[in-house]
Chains A and B, each alone.
Chain A
Amino acid sequence: QKEVEQDPGPLSVPEGAIVSLNCTYSNSAFQYFMWYRQYSRKGPELLMYTYSSGNKEDGRFTAQVDKSSKYISLFIRDSQPSDSATYLCAGESGGSYIPTFGRGTSLIVHP
């Protein structure tokens, strides 16, 4: 079992939809949780990170962490075709300095 599990998709939604992307993890030591977005033939870019449990909002994006269930979510409101990309979640213990990534979920937002 991988430390971070993520459904690879693809997830296809119409423009304007609310998107929910999810991950589960097994390492109880994770303290930091990150979401990266990766466009085709590009490196991942950091979208958001959170520390411990709770919510964090940035524009159309909301990250949510529930440490009790080891569940990480990213919500995208008013999705746009430019949001079409692969979204990778990651966790890090705060002491290892090495993030562990999920496989990524491919998102397609069609006009």
Chain B
Amino acid sequence: GAGVSQSPSNKVTEKGKDVELRCDPISGHTALYWYRQSLGQGLEFLIYFQGNSAPDKSGLPSDRFSAERTGGSVSTLTIQRTQQEDSAVYLCASSLAAAAEKLFFGSGTQLSVL
């Protein structure tokens, strides 16, 4: 597609449920990033993929968070046993390899945990 696509755009879930967020990067972009944006907190790095491998997953806040990328393309961020503090906008970005100065972001998934 023309840009980074994320789905769903909004997700409301109950505390304790698992959620999956999807990111479809720009075709040909080998690098993929997940960030989290909470109100007034800026963008918090979660995980970075180069191809299908994740050289840096240091930003994942707990073992309830995991992510995978298959076929060097689509990525899924999974949050297990969601907590209210997980409520945020989850943003995905992609870039060409070794071009971290030019990230292209999707519109994000607004996650609300009740």
| B106 CB–A CB distance under 8 Å | yes
Q: Of A8, A44, A49, which is within 8 A of B43 by CB?
A: A44
Q: Of B40, B55, B100, B105, which is within 8 A of A43 by CB?
A: B105
Q: Of B31, B40, B43, B102, which is within 8 A of A101 by CB?
A: B43
State A20–B48 Cα separation when bound (angstroms).
Answer: 32
Closest B residue to A106 by beta carbon equals B40
State A46–B45 Cα separation when bound (angstroms).
Answer: 17
Contact A43 B101 (CB under 8 A): no
Interface residues of A in 63-111 (CB under 8 A from B): 88, 92, 96-104
Interface residues of A in 18-58 (CB under 8 A from B): 32, 34, 36, 41-46, 49, 51
Contact B100 A41 (CB under 8 A): no
Nearest-neighbour CB distance to chain A for B91, whole angstroms, equals 6
State A98–B100 Cα separation when bound (angstroms).
Answer: 6
Q: Which of A8, A43, A49 has the most CB of B within 10 A?
A: A43
Nearest-neighbour CB distance to chain A for B42, whole angstroms, equals 4
State A50–B40 Cα separation when bound (angstroms).
Answer: 26
Chain A count of residues within 8 A CB distance of the other chain = 25
Nearest-neighbour CB distance to chain B for A104, whole angstroms, equals 6
Nearest-neighbour CB distance to chain B for A11, whole angstroms, equals 15
Q: Of B42, B45, B98, which is within 8 A of A102 by CB?
A: B42
Contact B100 A104 (CB under 8 A): no
| B93 CB–A CB distance under 8 Å | yes
State A16–B98 Cα separation when bound (angstroms).
Answer: 38
A interface, CB within 8 angstroms of B:
2, 6, 8, 32, 34, 36, 41-46, 49, 51, 88, 92, 96-104
10 more contacts with CB within 8 A, not counting A6-B42, A99-B103, are: A43-B93, A43-B106, A44-B43, A44-B105, A46-B102, A46-B104, A96-B56, A98-B48, A99-B100, A103-B40
